[in-house]
Structure 1
Amino acid sequence: MAAGGQPREEDVERPMAGPCPLGYKAVPIQFSEKQQSPHWLYMKEHKVREGTRSPYPKSRTLFILNVPPYCLEEDLIQLLSCCGKVQSLELQEKPDLAESRPEPRSRFFQPRPATKFHVAYVVFRKPASVHLAMSLGRKGPLVISSESRPVKTGIQKWIADYSASLVDPEALKVEVDTFMEKYDNEIAKEDAKAEEEEGVPDNEGWVKVTRKGRRPGIPRTEAASLRLLEKEKQKRTRKELLNFYAWQHRETKREHLAQLRKKFEEDKQRIALMRAQRKFRPY
């Protein structure tokens, strides 16, 4: 007990965490103050093996396991904002093993997120915020839905989801136009590259045929013709060797069949002789 009869912080009874993965810190959260038992988040500083690149900055990224479906990105940012400024937060279905950050997905053309547990990558402005976040929950579970910031549930959540699903035609048009402009630029670059390579023979003297067809009136060079003749000569030699080996293989099979027939006739004569001498006992 502290002075004045108030309990000390270390004397306050806290909820017991279940088995915690090695290297993680368990932080309790609960949906509302009415909830009796908390849910546990498992946090640690995001680290990768030496020599491996990561799209998330070193010493400023917090990796979180066991994020419940009702805890959205804005809710998690609100819970962690007391530790410092959150630069970015990404919820994913499983840990990201890629060495480069994927291209941002369109907010109009993407699958509906599944209602299951997620993992989170939280990037703070300062490295000290990562250690502060892992020490949260010492005074009790963190509350997601409060009176000052209620989380919509039930019919209110359905109405909000429906309103969010409605697409703004102007914003959609801008995104589609941007995508098509980028696509047209890539096609123009490919056409320019194909036009440069059109009609130019390669090392073996072959000319690449593009959508525009072969450019007429471009003869092969003498060196390319010599290389082509040498390659044809090698093909003929290889074909002759293959034919020789095939003939040899056929002759070997014929000899083997002749030997089998000869042995079969000898066995028939031996069996006939044993029957005549009454010495043949097959059983």
Structure 2
Amino acid sequence: MASSSVVFQGFTVLPLKIEEKSTCHHYLYVKEHNIRDARDCKPKERTLFVLNVPPYCEEGHFREMFERYGTIQRIFFHSKPTSGPPTVNSSTFFPTAPVIQGYMVAYIVFKKVSSVKAITSLPYDKPLVMHKEGGQSIDTGLNKWIREYKEDVVDTAALQTEIDKYMTEYDEKIQTEIEKAKAAEGVPDEEGWVTVTKYGKNKGAPRTEAHEKALTRKEKKRRKDKELLNFYSFQMRETKREQIANLRKKFEEDKNRIALMKASRKFRPY
């Protein structure tokens, strides 16, 4: 009796063993990648969408498991489903793409449509084997620790080379922007507007007599406003002083009145 595949919510369940002698299974969930906004990097019908990919599973393992069903053109790994390509690091020492940690999703692009159809029809009772004798090994244990330790040791010469290259390209970019701005300075566009930049040739026209008079008027007005502000401040101080003097005078009057009331008080036992 021929075994059949198991499908759960549109995904074909594929058991996976790390080695041939392994008794425990991991499970991959695969289906045809077919969405409306499919990009050129992940064409419809020829792309296999894989869920629950373990972090120790690499591109070489996928090729060993699935290349028997057809030619694999590209393999993409993501932290979550997406239609676009993964972000590529533009620097070795200053990564710009986030590091995928934990379980992943994968997209396997085949050359033919029949390859995806064959994988989504695989039987459930014949698990895939990730690591076979002579194939790509699984980086775990001490070997993984040694590799991560070596990756943490920075090659200072290569780092300095990358920094020098970046600074050279940056200086060239800034110089190009300066030259472009100088060339555009004073040249009107189609609507007659003239672009003014900080790199322009015209550093400012000399002041005219009218300009000097305007500056003099502004300075006089500023001084006058300052004098008026000081006058109001003096007036406020005088008002506060008068209020304090009146309070002190009233306090003395009240104190004298209380003293007179105490002196005129008489003791009357009956």
Divergent runs of 4+, >6 A: 202-206
Q: Is the 8 A contact 2:49 2:105 kept in 1?
A: yes
Distance 2:19 2:117 in 1: 25
Q: Aligned letter for 2:99? A: P
Judged with a 3 Å threshold, the aligned counterparts in structure 2 of structure 1 residues 9 and 176 are, in CA distance, closer, same or farther, namely farther
Q: Does 1:198 align with 2:185?
A: yes
Provide the residue aligned with 1:210 in structure 2. 197
Distance 1:97 1:60 in 2: 14
Q: Is the 8 A contact 1:43 1:65 kept in 2?
A: yes
- The counterpart of 1:48, out of the listed 27, 35, 59, is 35
Q: Aligned letter for 2:9? A: P
SS at match of 1:160: helix
Q: Does 1:21 align with 2:9?
A: yes
**Cα-Cα RMSD:** 3.7
SS at match of 1:58: coil
Bigger Cα Rg: 2
- The counterpart of 1:118, out of the listed 101, 104, 117, is 104
Greater relative contact order structure (CA < 8 Å, 6+ sep): 2
Provide the residue aligned with 1:38 in structure 2. 25
How far does the alpha carbon of each residue in 1:174-221 deviate from its partner, in whole angstroms, 9 at most, with x for none?
655665565455445533442343223568976433231462699xxx
What's the CA shift for 1:146? Answer: 3.3
Q: Aligned letter for 1:26? A: V
- The counterpart of 1:162, out of the listed 149, 152, 166, is 149
SS at match of 2:94: coil
Distance 1:206 1:187 in 2: 24
Judged with a 3 Å threshold, the aligned counterparts in structure 2 of structure 1 residues 216 and 109 are, in CA distance, closer, same or farther, namely closer
Q: Is the 8 A contact 2:181 2:200 kept in 1?
A: no
Q: Is the 8 A contact 2:181 2:199 kept in 1?
A: no
Distance 1:191 1:70 in 2: 49
How far does the alpha carbon of each residue in 1:224-272 deviate from its partner, in whole angstroms, 9 at most, with x for none?
xxxxxxxxxxxxxxxxxxxxxxxxxxxxxxxxxxxxxxxxxxxxxxxxx
Distance 2:36 2:148 in 1: 40
Judged with a 3 Å threshold, the aligned counterparts in structure 2 of structure 1 residues 165 and 58 are, in CA distance, closer, same or farther, namely farther
Q: Does 1:79 align with 2:70?
A: no
Distance 1:214 1:102 in 2: 42
- Give the TM-score normalised by structure 1: 0.56
Q: Aligned letter for 2:134? A: S
Q: Aligned letter for 1:157? A: K
Q: Give the number of equivalent residue pairs.
A: 203
Distance 1:180 1:60 in 2: 43
What does 1:56-205 correspond to in 2, within 5 Å? 56-98=42-84, 102=87, 105-110=90-95, 113-138=99-124, 140-149=126-135, 150-166=137-153, 179=166, 183=170, 186-201=173-188
Judged with a 3 Å threshold, the aligned counterparts in structure 2 of structure 1 residues 156 and 181 are, in CA distance, closer, same or farther, namely same
Distance 2:13 2:187 in 1: 65
